[in-house]
Amino acid sequence: MGSSAPATDSDEPITPAGRLFLQPQLNQIIHCVMGFKNPIDVESIKSQVKSSLMLTHPRFSSLMVRDSHGRERWHKTTHIDLDRHVIVLHDPVSSSGDHETAVNDYLADLSTGSGLPTDKPMWEFHLLIAHNVGIFRIHHALGDGISLMSMFLASCRRADDKGKLPTLASGKSKGVNKNKKGLLGLVCGFVAMVWFSLVFVVEFVLRCLWVCDRKTEISGGDGVELWPRKLATAKFRIQDMKHVKKAIPNATINDVLFGVISLGISRYLDHRKPNALPEGVQITGVAMTNLREQPGLQELSDLMRSNSGSSWGNKFGMLLLPIYYHNSKSNADPLAYLKRSKVMIDKKKQSVEGHFSYKIGLFVMTYLGPKVATWLNYRILCNTSFTISNILGPQEEITVGGNPITYLRASSSSLPHALTMHMVSYAERADMQILVAKDIIPDPAFLAKCFEEALLDMKEAAAAITET
């Protein structure tokens, strides 16, 4: 449902990607979680929000309305009542004595809740006073993770120098200088790009229609987005990931992350049903890849002020990233999972799968309508096994309104997947929120432990290689 405010000719149409996230089956709200070091000063937080770049951005000061043809549009509002957006909860949100568990339980309930009301701009800031935690709830129609992280960090300052903005890692691996590859290398690269693109695009289309993963102990499916959720947190050290990636030439942090997921899920499946799956069974994940150039934080802040359509919004493609089950006892080398992940991701990097999925999504939404686009995206989720995202956070510790942040995390509304993972890096740490359908995966804390131990085992194996 849209707001009761009347649509006018001056209202801005919502982008096709934004409209997709407003459909009932794919209605997505992003939950950005920050832990505060000191007790929360509610008035200070409200003052910080009021003076932030967020309220000057049209997306955060507009209502979602529908015109006479049923198309969603942004309707600029002249007044924002902060008391309706900043929601203060003084009492503990759970009977659990552990703050992390209580907050995760609260987020799990939000993931299947009623969503955000449309009679106000589609964001909220929940302050959990008893737990020293703030939770931004932002509808995905307003923007993707890159846009929202840039907007958030533009209102923060470094803890070690309050006059400076936080800095982000570039997120780009060192590539090969094309001038040194020679003509033969360029031709081979072009042929590889065409071949891998053809293979992955065909696979992507087949996944939209009927090809699906074999059922396992982590499989979701049609209607699972409505099932109750649990949430657990896996914690990693970025330095451990860097140490592991050095053991494999040209590996990246994303390679390591996917190797950890591959090994962790294999161990979890061994725990749930030993020897139930044959070796090499494909378990496919869905990942989102940023399609914009990765500018510096200040550049994105400037573009945000001018509401530049080239950077702000939802500009990402979808990738199908398969892992393969291997019995963790018979496959003793943890780095083998990293090697397989790197080979797969390197092929994906040479293709245009992400750009294809973005363009075909725009085409279907624009010319065939939201019902067809929603059906296709929903089928991809039902035919795969999990969602994974990785967002770069600040390299240093930061403050909001002078209050130091102890951690940053992210999760979202539930999907047909029974397993959804969102990782955010922050000051040499990385926390991955593991959202599960609890009737399918009843023990997400154990799954988180599988991931944490997978990285430590990879680190130990990498250290052994270094010593030899």
pLDDT of 129 higher than 50:
yes
User: Half-sphere exposure of residue 434, counting CA atoms within 13 Å on the CB side?
Assistant: 23
Helices (H), 154-237: 182-209
Cα separation, 82 vs 87, in Å, equals: 9
Residue 9, number of CB atoms within 10 A of its CB:
6
pLDDT band at 99 (very low <50, low <70, confident <90, very high): very high
pLDDT in tens, 364-403: 988 898 899 999 999 999 999 999 999 988 989 999 888 9
Q: What are the sequence ranges of the domains in the chain? A: 12-156, 178-390+417-467
Give me the percent of the chain exceeding a pLDDT of 90: 57
pLDDT of 164 higher than 50:
yes
Average of pLDDT values for 1-10?
59
What pTM does this model have?
0.92
Q: What φ, ψ does residue 379 adopt, rounded to 5°?
A: -65, -40
pLDDT of 308 higher than 70:
no
pLDDT in tens, 52-92: 888 888 889 999 998 888 888 999 988 889 999 999 999 99
pLDDT of 248 higher than 90:
yes
pLDDT of 305 higher than 50:
no
pLDDT in tens, 174-184: 444 545 567 87
Cα separation, 299 vs 145, in Å, equals: 16
In order of 187, 271, 352, 377, 446, the CA distances from 320 in angstroms are 26, 26, 12, 12, 26
The closest of 222, 183, 369, 204 to 289, measured between CA atoms, is 204
Q: First and final CA of the chain: distance in angstroms?
A: 63
pLDDT band at 5 (very low <50, low <70, confident <90, very high): low
Beta bridge partners of 294: none
DSSP-derived secondary structure letter, 356: H
pLDDT of 295 higher than 70:
no
Average of pLDDT values for 137-158?
87
CATH placement of domain 178-390+417-467? 3.30.559.30
Average of pLDDT values for 447-463?
96
Name residue 307's amino acid: N
- The answer to whether domain 12-156 and domain 178-390+417-467 are alike in fold is yes
Give the architecture-level CATH label for domain 12-156: 2-Layer Sandwich (3.30)
Please, is 164 exposed, middle or buried when counting C-beta atoms within 10 Å of its C-beta (0-12, 13-18, 19+)? exposed
Please report the pLDDT score of residue 180 as a whole number: 56
The residue count of the chain comes to: 468
Strands 398-400 and 386-391: unpaired
pLDDT of 225 higher than 80:
yes
pLDDT of 349 higher than 70:
yes
Is residue 316 within 8 Å of 291, Cβ to Cβ?
yes
Cα separation, 159 vs 190, in Å, equals: 46
**Radius of gyration over alpha carbons of the chain, in Å?**
22
